[in-house]
A and B are shown apart, each in its own frame.
Chain A
Amino acid sequence: MSAATATSARRGRRRRLDASLIVGIALVGVIIIGAILVASVGRNFFSAGNIRDILTGMSVLGFVAIGQTLVILCASLDLSVPYVVSLSSLIAADMMAGDPANIPVAVLAVLVVAALIGLANGLIVTKLKVNGFIATLGTGLIIKGYLDTNYKGTSGEVPWEFQLIGATGIGPVPVSTLIMLAVALAGAFFLARTRTGNHMFAVGGDEQVARLSGIRTARPVIVAHMLCSITAAFAGLLLASRLGVGSPTVGTQGGYDLLSIAAVVLGGTLLMGGRGSIWGTIGGVAIFAVVDNVMSVMQVNPFLKDVVRGIVIVAAVAVYTSRSLDRRRPRFGSGAAEPERPGDQDAAPPAVAHEKEASA
């Protein structure tokens, strides 16, 4: 009996659209609408300059959001990222002090400090069992206190060689975007092909299941927090390179904590953890970048800009939610696979199979 039942069940089982595919479709839609709007004011959306602007806008948020994706996959959150971004820019600029010879040491120091902050976040979340939201709010405030008392304004000097990273590009593609995409690729590979990456999905999806399967549940969470701080440090380095100095407020001005979370969610990653992808997040970042770009080209007023951003986030989550709730397919009436006319039986079997899927 098994074979027959199963085949019919499988035939009826619709493959749900992959979330990152939906993000891709949404991105294309946003680009088309954006191009039309931009064209309506007599400008070219696809000009090299404009493409460069969009990609440049993507790279900083992209770095932060990649790390945030890992943390959210583990069902945690990182609110300390804007302070890590600011701190990184300051450490980099101060240590480089205008001398290109100091670049390697400065970069290394930035990454080590960031990794230690991430380690602290991860340990607080896993060992002290403090919710990630609160834990990282706390560490973020500690860093903020340090920045506020020790820096009154911009500090340090970034040598011209390092500023090149933020300024050069290959054709219309900035180097910083290429680095960001390389990090995304590494992140996606890490999630798919390492045990720790696999276990992030498990811990975020159901910690109990992960533990009963013999996974050391603390490790993926700690690693995710460390990687998140490190990608935030990348963002800080990039900002230092662009500004030429370190700034204690560059992270908070960018609003990278909430924007990165929004980009991750926009990219189809569940805020509760356990499902999501880096590429979805990159798609989310790109959507934000395109929307921002179109609005600044069209000189939309700042208030309306935030309204549109807000609507995009809420609408995206509403769409995902309705998709995940609508598990049960109607059998009768409009939208049903089966015409209601009595005696019309050929359409019935698929409806039954769908129902099976729904009850699972």
Chain B
Amino acid sequence: MTAEQPQAGAGRSAVLDGEPVLVATGLEKSFFGVTVLRGVGLTLHPGEVHGLVGENGAGKSTFMKILAGVYERDAGSVALGGDEVAFSHPVEAARAGLATVFQEFNLLPERTVAQNVFLGREPRRHGLVDRKAMLAETRALLADLGIDSIEADAPVRTLTVAEQQIVEIVKALSVDARVIQMDEPTAALADHEVELLYTIVRRLSERGVAILYVSHRLKEIFDLCDTITVLKDGALVSSGPAAELDTDELVRRMVGRPISAYFPAAEEGTAVGEPRLELRGAGNAYVDDIDLELRAGEIVGVAGLQGSGRTELVEALFGIDQFTRGELRLDGRPVRMTSARQAVKAGVALITEDRKAQGLALNQSVGDNALLVIRSVFARRTTAARRELPGVLSSLEVSSRGVDQEVQYLSGGNQQKVVLAKWLATKPRVVLLDEPTRGIDVGAKVAVYTLMRRLAKEGVAILMISSELPEVIGMSDRIVVMHDGRASAELPARSDEATILSAATGTLKVGGAKVVGTADDADDASSPASGSAAADDAEQEPGR
């Protein structure tokens, strides 16, 4: 791939001694008079995995986009392989060997993997697109990464999110990149899919490709990166070996203050009260046999792999796909939840997983979004809600230019706060959160956690789905684990990651935990893995 990989096979620290492949110095950028990047620089060596961290708005994305040629820099210099460069388009950068995997997928779902990989650069023979060469090269690139699950001629829409991420990386590789920037490559991946990405990043690194890795998941940064650069408010805080940092120190540098309690403790005076929401043997086409009790003042975490039925559970509770079996009680009274409107009226709020597609009207203002539910469901309360809005927004520390700003221009964290404001306005009694901190920065995460604690203290019952186990463990009073459409286990607060994971993959042996699974685990305990675990998780049962 690259000529400069003398350190291949040597120790990690040796990697950093060689000739750098990319040197950025003193990059500055402002938009409309606001400086978003002031004098930031870093150095990448062949084979180095370099973590770039900072809160949202710290300037990470701007930095990457300047390198990639999306934005023009105001000042500073970038040298790629010793040559001064200034790209004006991501394609130009990629052809020079600096490829970027953007956070938003740049794939065409209806086209095949090969067509996507070579989009805009289709190989030609006699003036016609050479489909055989395209397929062959794509297969070679996939094989090179050890990926045999992706067919080069499969339409991208048939791939999982993780596989689509790999296609993006293959796209970057197909231009022979010496440097690959990855912007939150795991933001849309479930925990078990992240492993695959790790493998690929390490393999690329072994081949001498330098990787600039942006992530909000600090664990990944420490797992993968040799070097960590911290940005804050557009300025460089530090840049140095990962070994010299630990999580607390990294967080302190990112937010500029120590977060002694990353997950805030329950507020003084929080009391668990009456059951707000109860499910008895409830099920529909996607989930089954769900027993669940959610009490006032309680935060219940829902863990499970992606596709285990977590989202389907909250959607059923919110009346989107109503339960067809079993019983649902709200405040002790049996109800049939048949529409989202009915759920909202009953005091249920759902913060959806995909805030851009399901949570916000992106081209409408902060104010219109925050009043959306109130206006459509509780029209008579609109005036009062509008009066309270500035207070709600400032209590959530939404930083926007005002209630008239369109939400599409806000950072992810601020967008999520607007979603929360929208639901707070309805004064909910049950709050369902689906991945509430996905893709948002540490500061905004803490704001979400603090809000959850405050709501709990006010007697709201909270159900939180999360793929991030530390979050589930740090916030939950109880943990329900979903597997294969059923609640496979209900675990006490502070359960360890291993227990949750084994319940999520269906391999939990009865221990201290109360195992809810009625059929699978009890009837057939002799062959616990003969069920769906093998299909869902990595481990194939021998002889299967």
Stretch at the interface among B41-49, B114-122, B249-257, B258-266: B114-122
Give A201-229 as 1s and 0s: 1 = Cβ < 8 Å from B's Cβ atoms.
11001101110111100000000000000
Chain A residues, CB < 8 A from B199: 2
Q: A213-B120, A214-B89, A342-B518 are in contact. Are A195 and B129 (CB under 8 A)?
A: yes
Give B82-100 as 1s and 0s: 1 = Cβ < 8 Å from A's Cβ atoms.
0000000111000000000
Contact A209 B531 (CB under 8 A): no
From 2 to 52 in chain A, residues with beta carbon under 8 angstroms from any chain B beta carbon are: 2-10, 12-13, 15-16
Contact A360 B538 (CB under 8 A): no
Query: Once the chains are docked, how many angstroms separate the CA of A16 from the CA of B312?
Result: 23
Q: A8-B535, A348-B532 are in contact. Are A328 and B286 (CB under 8 A)?
A: yes
From 91 to 135 in chain B, residues with beta carbon under 8 angstroms from any chain A beta carbon are: 91, 102, 106-111, 115, 119-122, 124, 127-129, 131
Q: A13-B158, A213-B106, A330-B285 are in contact. Are A345 and B535 (CB under 8 A)?
A: no
Q: A206-B108, A213-B120, A352-B536 are in contact. Are A2 and B146 (CB under 8 A)?
A: yes
Contact A357 B158 (CB under 8 A): yes
Contact B91 A212 (CB under 8 A): yes
Query: Once the chains are docked, how many angstroms separate the CA of A342 from the CA of B486?
Result: 12
Contact A205 B110 (CB under 8 A): yes
Q: A213-B106, A349-B532 are in contact. Are A333 and B324 (CB under 8 A)?
A: yes
Contact A210 B164 (CB under 8 A): no
Contact A348 B484 (CB under 8 A): yes
Q: A2-B196, A333-B285, A359-B306 are in contact. Are A9 and B160 (CB under 8 A)?
A: yes
Question: How many chain A residues touch B (Cβ–Cβ < 8 Å)?
Answer: 59
Chain B residues, CB < 8 A from A328: 286, 312
Shortest beta-carbon distance from A272 to chain B in Å: 10
Shortest beta-carbon distance from A225 to chain B in Å: 21
- Contact residues of B: prevailing secondary structure: loop
Contact A202 B108 (CB under 8 A): yes
Contact B288 A214 (CB under 8 A): no
Question: How many chain B residues touch A (Cβ–Cβ < 8 Å)?
Answer: 67
A295 within 8 A of B: no
Query: Once the chains are docked, how many angstroms separate the CA of A357 from the CA of B195?
Result: 19
A332 within 8 A of B: yes
Query: Once the chains are docked, how many angstroms separate the CA of A318 from the CA of B324?
Result: 26
Shortest beta-carbon distance from B211 to chain A in Å: 19
From 525 to 544 in chain B, residues with beta carbon under 8 angstroms from any chain A beta carbon are: 530-532, 534-540
Q: A214-B91, A214-B121 are in contact. Are A4 and B540 (CB under 8 A)?
A: yes
B519 within 8 A of A: yes
B111 nearest CB neighbor, chain A only:
A201
Contact B128 A194 (CB under 8 A): yes
B148 within 8 A of A: yes
B307 within 8 A of A: yes
Provide a sorted-by-A list of 11 A–B residue pairs whose CB atoms are within 8 angstroms: A1-B539, A8-B534, A208-B106, A213-B91, A214-B120, A330-B286, A332-B284, A333-B285, A342-B519, A350-B535, A355-B485
Question: Which A residues are within 8 Å of any B CB, using their own CB?
Answer: 1-10, 12-13, 15-16, 192-195, 197-199, 201-202, 205-206, 208-210, 212-215, 270, 274-275, 328, 330-333, 335-336, 340, 342-343, 345-346, 348-353, 355-360
Question: Which B residues are within 8 Å of any A CB, using their own CB?
Answer: 89-91, 102, 106-111, 115, 119-122, 124, 127-129, 131, 146-151, 157-161, 163-164, 192, 195-196, 199, 283-288, 306-309, 312, 324-325, 484-485, 518-520, 523-524, 530-532, 534-540
